[in-house]
Each structure stands twice: as C-alpha cells, then as structure tokens.
A and B are shown apart, each in its own frame.
Chain A
Amino acid sequence: MAYTIADAVTRARNLTQDKEPPYRYDDDLYVTYANDALYEVRRLRPDLFITEDGLVADITVDDLQNPFPIDLQYFVPVASYMAGAIGMEDDKYLPEGKPSRLLAVFHNALVGKL
C-alpha cells in the first residue's frame, strides 16, 4: 500500500487524539513537524536519502497528496515524531509521558538496536 503525506498527518492525528473536526491543530503544524522529522531522519539515517542530491525536499500543505517521501518502513516512526512533537508543544490532551514515548519510538526505529 502506498502512503501519502496526508496519511502521515492522519496517523499523527490519531496518535494525538485529534481525529474529529474542528481539529485542535491545523495541517500546517503537522506538515511543519513532518519536515522536522524528515530532517531528523536525514541526520540520523542518511542512507534513507540515497538519491542524486541526497537532500530532503521541503513539504508544504500543497504536497499532502504526494507519496510519503522515504521508505515506508519508516512511515510509523515519522508519524510518531509528528504526534510526539505536537504533544510536546501542548500535551494536556495526551496522557502524561506519551509524547516522550512517541519520540522514543521514532528514535529507536531509526537507530535503536534490534
């Protein structure tokens, strides 16, 4: 199954319990954290960006229907990062410690020992 960036936003909304409109956070914020997540992925795992230029392409809300930009093995970690980062910003809707656990999921999936 091919995921899009919009799917990552939906997954992150599920994790932050922000599923029903009116949303607490708009797509712009999720996309901002998607970009942060991808730069973190680039820093930790440059092997996921083996392309001609090896660069991260910035995402905007106009790109929501584009394919998820890295290998789909790393879809869940990126969505977790997006949700964790939003939770860190304002975590009164999330159980205590959940944002940290979501960020740990991201980190462990990328560089954790198996």
Chain B
Amino acid sequence: MDETAWLAELRPLLPGAVDVNIQQSIRSTINEFYSNTAVYTLEYPPINVVTGVSRYALPDIAEGKILYLLRAKFNGAPISVVSTGVEANGVGTPTRVWLEPDPMELVINSSPASDLLGGLEVEVSLVPLTVANSTIPDSAGVVYYQHILDGALGRMYKQPSKPWTNQSLSTYHLKRFRIGMAKATELNRKGLSSADSSWKFPMWA
C-alpha cells in the first residue's frame, strides 16, 4: 500500500501544504511508529549452523531494515537474546545470541559441536521504509491507520512558520500518537494482534 488514503484525509486539514511534504511526514511517522513499537516482525529463514563458526551474516531483506532481535531458538529450544556479549572460544551449545550492526551479523556465544541444518531460528523487528523499500506494511493502513494519521498531523502542525502551523493541535495529535504507540506495543506484547492468539471472553460477557 502507499500513502494515498492518509493524503486524502490530511490535505484539507493542511491548507497550503504540498503533497511531497505531507508524504514525508506520513513516512517518517510510519518509521517512528514501527521503531518504537517493534510490532513489524519477521521470522528469518532458518540459518544453517556450522561448527567453529559463531558469526552469521543476515542478508538484507526486502521488507525493511532490521531494528531488533526479538526471539531466537537453537535446535528448536529458545535461547536468550541479549544486546551484546562475548564470544567464547570453546565449543558447546549456544545459550545467548545478539545482533551486531555493520555488517549485520548474528553472533552466538559459543559455536556448536556439530553442524546443524536450519539450527538457528530468529525473529526480528523491522523498520519498513528505507531507501530500497517504499512499500508500507498493510498493518499500517488497517490496524494502525488512525495512529499514523495522528502522528503525521502532529508532525505537520509542529512545522515552524507555515500557514497551517498550530502548536496546540500538534500537542493534541502527538499525544494521541504516543498513546497509540503505547497501546500497540502493549497489545503486541500480550499477543493480541497475531492471528493465532487464543481469545477468551471475560466471564461476564
């Protein structure tokens, strides 16, 4: 999807603004939303683990840029995701994994005793819009539409010395945007946004 739906709604609220400026605000808002909520996730294709090797390159993916490592499994069993660590020289079952940027590499704290096809599974969160990717995730337009609208409006109203500048409306919409991000993060943490979540009606329903 693209910014068309938001643009149509924002244009009449921002007289004098040109589309390219509004589009930039929408795109920056989308990236801010997904950076802060980490709700745009992807399971990487399983990685083949090789004995003696503790670093594994993560190839670029079309959907966006990797932001965080969320979960990892080694040989089907969860292992700890940490922000950074020390590679052990010894051989043994890895217990921790972390991400190192430039170049993007997964590092495990010890190399396995034997090769294992698809032995390392990881889930990452993404920032969707990059120089190489301009496709907006569908969830932005369906589940988070109103939050993105609030964020983009808040950003536009905050711009200095424009005919549409409005500090009080900026504060109002940015507050709604922050609440929206907090709500999305919380719902995602509880697993209420994924299709296979187990819903349970409250006893009084």
Contact = CB atoms under 8 A, between A and B. Distances in A.
Interface in B1-50: 15-18, 20-21, 24
Given A73-B16, A114-B15, A114-B16, A47 B21 contact: yes
B24 A50 contact: yes
Contacts of A110: 163
A109 B162 CA distance: 10
A50 B20 contact: yes
B161 interface: yes
A71 interface: yes
- Which DSSP category, helix, strand, loop or mixed, fits chain B's interface? loop
B68 interface: no
A7 B163 CA distance: 25
A114 B21 contact: no
B24 A44 contact: no
A19 interface: no
Interface residues of A, number: 13
A24 interface: no
A45 B162 contact: yes
A44 B18 CA distance: 14
B18 A71 contact: yes
Interface string A57-73: 00000000000000101
Contacts of A45: 162
Nearest to B156: A47
A113 B163 CA distance: 5
B129 to A, nearest CB: 16
Contacts of B162: 45, 47, 111
B162 to A, nearest CB: 7
A57 B161 CA distance: 24
A47 B20 CA distance: 8
Most buried by B among A45, A47, A109, A113: A47
Given A47-B17, A71-B18, A114 B161 contact: no
B159 interface: yes
Interface string A76-114: 000000000000000000000000000000000111111
Given A47-B17, A47-B20, A114-B15, 16 more contacts: A44-B161, A45-B162, A47-B159, A47-B162, A48-B18, A48-B21, A50-B18, A50-B20, A71-B18, A73-B16, A109-B16, A111-B161, A111-B162, A111-B163, A112-B163, A114-B163
24 contacts: A44-B161, A45-B162, A47-B17, A47-B18, A47-B20, A47-B21, A47-B159, A48-B18, A48-B21, A50-B18, A50-B20, A50-B21, A50-B24, A71-B18, A73-B16, A73-B18, A109-B16, A110-B163, A111-B162, A111-B163, A112-B163, A113-B163, A114-B15, A114-B164
Interface of B: 15-18, 20-21, 24, 159, 161-164
Closest 7 CB pairs of A and B: A47-B21, A71-B18, A50-B20, A111-B161, A114-B163, A114-B15, A48-B18
